[in-house]
Structure 1
Amino acid sequence: MKTRLSFFIFLLLCSLSFAQVKISGKVTYKSKGVRDVNVTLKDTYDGATTDGDGNFSFETSEKGNKILLFTHPKYIDVEKAISIENQEISVNVELKEQINEIDAVVVSAGSIEASDKKRATALLTPIDIYTTAGANGQISSALTYLPGVQKVGETEGLFIRGGTGTESKIFMDGSLINNYFSNSVPGIAGRDRFNTSLFKGNVFSSGGYSALYGQALSGALMLESIDLPDQSSYDIGFSPIFLNAGFQKLNDNKNSSFGATLGYSNLKLMQEVFNFNTNFEEAPQNINGDFNFGIKTKSGGFIKYYGMFDSNRMGVQTQSLEPEKYDESSVNLKGKSTYHNLSFKQKFGKYLLNAGTSYSFNRSDLDFSTLKSDVSTGNTRLLNNGNYINFKTVLERKINRISALRGGVELNSTNEKLNFNDFVEKNYKDLISSAFLETDLGFSNQLSAKIGMRTEYSSYLEKANIAPRIALAYRFAKDWTTSFAYGIFYQNPESKYINAPANLDFQKSQHYIFQIQRTTEGRSLRFEAFYKKYDDLVKVRNLEYIDGQNQYVQTANNNNGYGYAKGLELFWRDKKTFENIDYWISYSYLDSKRDFMNYPLSLKPNFASEHTLSAVAKRFVPKWKTGFNLSYTYAKGRPYYDIATEIIDGKENYYIRNSGRLKDYSALNFSLNYLPNLGKKDTKAFTVLVLSVTNILGSKNIYGYNFSMDGNRSAAVVPPVNIFVFVGAFISFGVDKTQDAINNNL
């Protein structure tokens, strides 16, 4: 009996030791149940997954002190200490959101980013720019197919939301580019000097931009150059108007590279083929080249250098609007330019240092002459030399995965010399010293903010400013976000209007921007409303500088100008609905008025169109390895003014002698990109054949009017040619990007 009893007690104890204990509970986030949370006993295989209400339950034979682990990709891991005996255990847990770069909402009011980091909403990558019909491979031209940028063809620059072309600035690797556009003559816009393929990404801000950048009332374009090429390559490009060649050499360890390009262009042949509106005495021609290198340091840092030179010439002849004085006039240009950019990036523990410096030199030599019966009646020479140095350093520290603090200093030196007919000489010097501080704050994956402050001091103005900036972003639904941005922005008066002593101050603008955006796989929808207020804009007067010859120059008089710009913008891009078709549509409504320069009262600016509509469509046929691209732009006619002066009671006054509205602008463009197989099948080579037709319907667009001295005669300012056809080939040896191009819908 004792033996049986002992055996029974032994079996009972064994069954108790292996008895299953139930562990259950509920997992919540903000008092709501969370599904698909993994609940496990640490270092065991026992556990469960929460249901749709956040409940879980499982049994375990483990005993003693254990750790209960709760994990989910979107929430911070939670560990709960429990003691397992023989009774059931109930554990309830409240989760905290896991903040990370992938899920966090990004502040985007006023800006569009194209980079490897923003592939979901990437816009204007190099492939986008090259395949946008009518952009002619230029970044600035491609931007006109986005909302907020006006189509202004008679002069270079980015005209953003009611701002002039000089009120926007362009930066490369953080440093200011003072000579992004080539030299040109009045009525003909300069071209981009920089090769689009040099850049791997960009951030375009049509307002409310970061405190790291300044001296721009309207907007900023931040370009980021390529670090190291994927592999060594040799490139050539040729067409009836240009020839260029270059190489990129990557070392065997893939930690450094260097490269160079050289190019020449001349429009003389195209001038013979097409009926140009502009009478070129000397066809536009250009010689350019660049050199670059990149070095990855042993400590993980990176050094980049880029240098370029550019030389261009052209001569334009026009019929006189003053027949009693002369029959015709001409202007000849000789331009030279160089740019050098050196940048350094290095991590020091939790800190990231970005430092860079750039140097620009620009020389514009304009020779104006007039003829009467083939006899010279006058000659005027305007020579301008500019030297510009920019230095900038930024130190950044990560607070957490999506929060950071950064600050730094910037120096921008300007030294310009102007000579007019050896009678007038001007030497303008200014040093703008800046300091800035900015923080990114990620409160949650749904809410984030960017807060910054910038201060500047101008040695020429002998004045300082303080510019606060703030932006907020909130995700109110799965794919929907809203953003708000506010900022104050300052800019020195343009140096070309500083020709006499005047008590001047910074020009000022305030930006208010509200945005709603929906982003899904392959689709993006953006709506923005904005209001800009301008204060302290420059007013000018006519200054006579050669006695008895009635020759005047406009010079800054005071900062009594003001204005506003408000509007609505819509952007839709879709790469998903139709197979192998990428298209986008943008619309801008702009209401703007200004009293500045020589305006006699508050007027709609002559560079601002009330309605602008653009559409871009790209269809790639893989079987043919051919891309077909279309673009269309419509802009309501801009106003034009003939502003003259009169003397009343010994005082000079401006008045509007002639005014009106230009005909509506319209242009349909087409381009074709063909990727043939050249050479042997295993040869690494990439070839693109390009056919591009600008303004294929031949619309006779007008950019403005020039008026005679008495206002009785006028001449339209028109594009150099109504229809332009480009045919060219681009070949790269040592690298085959055909499949990449196909994948990117080239």
Structure 2
Amino acid sequence: MKSNIHKIIFILFFFSIILNFAQVKISGKVTFKNKGIAEVNVTLKDTYDGATTDASGNFSFETSEKGAQKLTFTHVKYYEIEKPITIDDQNQTINAELKEQINEIDAVVVSAGSIEASDKKRATALLTPIDIYTTAGADGQISSALNYLPGVQKVGEAEGLFVRGGTGTESKIFMDGSLINNYFSSSVPGIAGRDRFNTSLFKGNIFSSGGYSALYGQALSGALMLESVDLPDQSSYDFGVSPIFLNAGFQKLSDNKNYSYGATAGYSNLNLMQKIFNFNTDFIDAPQGFNGDMNFRLKTKSGGFLKYYGMFDTNTMGVKTESLEPNYDFSLVKLKGKNTYHNLSFKQKFGKYLLNVGTSYSYNQSDLKFSTETNNAESGESQVLNDGNYINFKAVVDRKINKISALRGGFELNNANEKLNFGEINKNYRDLISSAFMETDLGFSNHLSAKIGVRAENSSYLNKTNIAPRFALAYRLAKDWTTSFAYGLFFQNAESKYINSSAKLDFQESQHFIFQVQRSTEGRSLRFEAFYKKYDELIKTQNIIPNADQNQQVQTAFNNNGNGFAKGLELFWRDKKTFENIDYWISYSFLDSKRDFLNYPFSLKPNFASEHTLSVVAKRFIPKWKTGVNLSYTYAKGRPYYDIITKEVNGEMVNYPRNQGRLKDYNALNLSFNYLPNLGKKDAKAFTIFVLSVSNVLGTKNIYGYNFSQNGNSSAIVPPVNTFVFVGMFISFGVDKTQDAINNNL
């Protein structure tokens, strides 16, 4: 028995020696640009023999295969290669050099100057509609929510996006590629107009605080590109009710889910809230307005998409203030405004080409009446009546060259026809701006890409043409770290309200230099950006009085001798991962800016630019309580203010500051709560959310600026109310939005 066991052991040992002698060791190193690549699968084709490279790119395995074979090297980020190999009795060393496989997922994206909120892969700050609605202090407005991002100044007395030392009119807003003229509602001096557009209309946005694409023009500072929603997931009905507004709407999706249509209507009135709260502003006619909109969306059989959106709104208000002029007790201003906007866009692929065509039309009328009052008797009435018709048309053709490179080009027409009547000033301003542009995205590798573009514009009013080159470069420093640089030249016509004479003017221009470093991981993002802007050809104005018995002055442009600069540093940090159910972000901006423009007598810090701005936003959703708690805080260093008048010196009209100073620092803490009573109910036919929002909880008495009279009297420009409380209820039938709240899209 023992003899048989010994024989078996001997036979097995003998065969193992034979097999060991028969196996050959194959080893080597896999590299890319002389650096080892880990996790590369190295195998003999059609066998189970192989290995995976280590952190240095080395591999080693043994095989008993003989003769002609093929050695394959595979990795998801590199092109697969095969190497022929002849296996005999000798160990072999096989090295391989791989080529990077360029793809859209891994490619670095140029992002200097931009915060994109429609493509999560590229987003620095994802601002979804629910995100905006639940940002405390934003009042559900896109423009207000952007005030909590770096680069945007908090300027409460005027509407617009004040970006990096630029005025509110130097940033333009686009919908599906088409320019929106009069995005904000009409208002009276010292009170900012509100967004006219419903936030839920848009599925995403790209906010560029500089260095933006050649597809967009006529903006010296920034651009906000809004993208409207496509077909809804299902039909729905929505209602909203609060002490200040009432609205209702519906969206109907076809049975075959290839088209939809819908409409909304609303009414707002601030009269009740004025009786409850202690308003700073004496509204003799409380702000009120009607609005409505309609939409139609169609997906064609060939994959194209047609969208139509139309809206109208009217708003009225009257404000009474203490008169700064002698012999009068009060000043009165009354507003009647109305607006309509229509947008039609079409997108279709034709082979390798993508066509985007869009057109929009808007009409805006603002009727302002100024008067003074003594012993309840009105006198000295004047009227500013402005009618504007605007048509925009844009066509873009896009062709992909490879997975991450593309070429696009097109043209744009923007026609403005404005009529203004104010005292002795009666003008009809007409201008057709014709533009052509071309741009290319160049992907050199997954680590390096560039965007090069050029835009040319011609203004019929100025009878001049400009050419604006744009350039941007992005490079991946490490796995999660990227850096970008952008340069661009930007032109813009002077605001038509300053064109009240036959002065020969030119385009205003600015140059942007932007450097960015960004780190993005799942749930966290960090962005540092430095910028420098140089302004040239800014318009200079003089104050004129339309009628001798009127106190209102207007500024009239007379040349383009203005200039200026803006430079600064910005930091943005957002974290949705560290703390459970908490999303927060912190943004800080430092701005150093000076301008010699409008009626400034020399180079001054603009009265809309704050040197230091800090914003903190935090959001927490508590599933157990079915409640979301949101807070925001903003601090801004006090802005400068000036009382600039025109005086005749040696037969020449000159401007000089009669009074100047600095406002106190701005502080505001805001708080909001969202309660979802039907959270957790399965198959709920209706979704309800209650909202309670408190703006400026601490009641800080902020000052936006000062009004000055001809004789030097002044009064502070303050918010209409120091602390405002909003309570509302929103109901949706047919669409369950519970998951949006649970997923912390707040």
Same fold (TM over 0.5): yes
Q: Given residue 456 of structure 1, which amino acid in structure 2 is its aligned partner?
A: E
Q: Which residue of 2 aligns with 1:482?
A: 483
Within-5 A mapping of 1:93-242:
93-118=96-121, 121-242=124-245
Q: Deviations over 1:375-428 (max 9, x none)?
A: 22211111111111111111111122211111111111111111225x532111
**Aligned residues of 1:229 and 1:248 also touching (Cα < 8 A):** yes
**Aligned residues of 2:117 and 2:123 also touching (Cα < 8 A):** no
Within-5 A mapping of 1:36-47:
36-47=39-50
Between the aligned partners of 2:684 and 2:545, the Cα distance in structure 1 is 67
Between the aligned partners of 1:262 and 1:62, the Cα distance in structure 2 is 77
Q: Which residue of 2 aligns with 1:534?
A: 535
Q: Given residue 378 of structure 2, which amino acid in structure 1 is its aligned partner?
A: S
Residue 277 and residue 564 in structure 1: after superposition, are their counterparts in 2 closer, same or farther (change >3 A)?
A: same
Between the aligned partners of 2:716 and 2:376, the Cα distance in structure 1 is 24
Residue 119 and residue 450 in structure 1: after superposition, are their counterparts in 2 closer, same or farther (change >3 A)?
A: closer
Q: Which residue of 2 aligns with 1:247?
A: 250
Residue 546 and residue 51 in structure 1: after superposition, are their counterparts in 2 closer, same or farther (change >3 A)?
A: closer
Bigger drift between 447-456 and 97-106 goes to 97-106
Q: Which residue of 2 aligns with 1:737?
A: 737
Between the aligned partners of 2:22 and 2:679, the Cα distance in structure 1 is 75
Q: What is the aligned-residue RMSD (CA, Å)?
A: 2.0
Q: Deviations over 1:101-124 (max 9, x none)?
A: 222211111111112443763422
Residue 120 and residue 544 in structure 1: after superposition, are their counterparts in 2 closer, same or farther (change >3 A)?
A: closer
Bigger drift between 642-651 and 582-591 goes to 642-651
Between the aligned partners of 2:739 and 2:552, the Cα distance in structure 1 is 60
Bigger drift between 45-54 and 145-154 goes to 45-54
Shift of 1:356: 0.8
Q: Deviations over 1:673-707 (max 9, x none)?
A: 11111897422322111000000110011111112
Between the aligned partners of 2:135 and 2:681, the Cα distance in structure 1 is 31
Q: Which residue of 1 aligns with 2:525?
A: 524
Residue 550 and residue 743 in structure 1: after superposition, are their counterparts in 2 closer, same or farther (change >3 A)?
A: closer
Query: 2:567 matched to 1:566?
Result: yes
Shift of 1:622: 1.1
Structure 1: 5+ residue stretches without partners: 1-11
SS in 2 for 1:496: helix
Query: 2:464 matched to 1:467?
Result: no
Q: Deviations over 1:322-360 (max 9, x none)?
A: 132x22121111111011111111112222111111111
Between the aligned partners of 1:153 and 1:493, the Cα distance in structure 2 is 23
Q: Which residue of 1 aligns with 2:708?
A: 707
Q: Which residue of 1 aligns with 2:418?
A: 416
Between the aligned partners of 2:616 and 2:238, the Cα distance in structure 1 is 32
Shift of 1:293: 1.4
Between the aligned partners of 2:410 and 2:482, the Cα distance in structure 1 is 30
Between the aligned partners of 1:515 and 1:444, the Cα distance in structure 2 is 19
Residue 652 and residue 626 in structure 1: after superposition, are their counterparts in 2 closer, same or farther (change >3 A)?
A: same
Output the TM-score relative to the length of structure 2: 0.94
Q: Deviations over 1:249-285 (max 9, x none)?
A: 1112222111111111000000110111111111000
Bigger drift between 275-284 and 640-649 goes to 640-649
SS in 2 for 1:741: helix
Q: Which residue of 2 aligns with 1:634?
A: 635
Q: Which residue of 2 aligns with 1:721?
A: 721
Bigger drift between 678-687 and 395-404 goes to 678-687
Between the aligned partners of 1:663 and 1:544, the Cα distance in structure 2 is 31
**Aligned residues of 2:29 and 2:95 also touching (Cα < 8 A):** yes
Q: Which residue of 2 aligns with 1:303?
A: 306
SS in 2 for 1:640: strand
Query: 2:554 matched to 1:553?
Result: yes
Q: Which residue of 1 aligns with 2:659?
A: 658
Within-5 A mapping of 1:284-683:
284-324=287-327, 326-421=328-423, 423-546=424-547, 552-677=553-678, 681-683=682-684
Between the aligned partners of 1:367 and 1:678, the Cα distance in structure 2 is 50
**Aligned residues of 1:693 and 1:724 also touching (Cα < 8 A):** yes
Residue 679 and residue 437 in structure 1: after superposition, are their counterparts in 2 closer, same or farther (change >3 A)?
A: closer
**Aligned residues of 2:611 and 2:637 also touching (Cα < 8 A):** yes
Between the aligned partners of 1:215 and 1:531, the Cα distance in structure 2 is 19
| Pick aligned residue for 1:27 from 23, 26, 30 | 30
Q: Which residue of 1 aligns with 2:262?
A: 259
Between the aligned partners of 1:304 and 1:488, the Cα distance in structure 2 is 32
SS in 2 for 1:623: helix
Shift of 1:50: 2.3
**Aligned residues of 1:620 and 1:745 also touching (Cα < 8 A):** no
**Aligned residues of 1:120 and 1:521 also touching (Cα < 8 A):** no
Bigger drift between 296-305 and 180-189 goes to 296-305
Q: Given residue 277 of structure 2, which amino acid in structure 1 is its aligned partner?
A: F
Q: How many residues align?
A: 729
Shift of 1:596: 0.5
Residue 545 and residue 227 in structure 1: after superposition, are their counterparts in 2 closer, same or farther (change >3 A)?
A: same
Shift of 1:237: 0.5
Q: Given residue 722 of structure 2, which amino acid in structure 1 is its aligned partner?
A: N
**Aligned residues of 2:117 and 2:127 also touching (Cα < 8 A):** yes
Residue 81 and residue 353 in structure 1: after superposition, are their counterparts in 2 closer, same or farther (change >3 A)?
A: farther
Shift of 1:79: 2.4
**Aligned residues of 1:354 and 1:394 also touching (Cα < 8 A):** yes
Q: Which residue of 1 aligns with 2:273?
A: 270
Q: Which residue of 1 aligns with 2:51?
A: 48
SS in 1 for 2:230: coil
Shift of 1:20: 5.7
Between the aligned partners of 1:745 and 1:626, the Cα distance in structure 2 is 13
SS in 1 for 2:211: coil
Shift of 1:553: 2.8
Identity over the aligned pairs, expressed in percent? 79
Q: Given residue 721 of structure 1, which amino acid in structure 2 is its aligned partner?
A: V
Structure 2: 5+ residue stretches without partners: 1-14
Shift of 1:56: 3.1
Bigger drift between 458-467 and 245-254 goes to 245-254
Bigger drift between 77-86 and 431-440 goes to 77-86
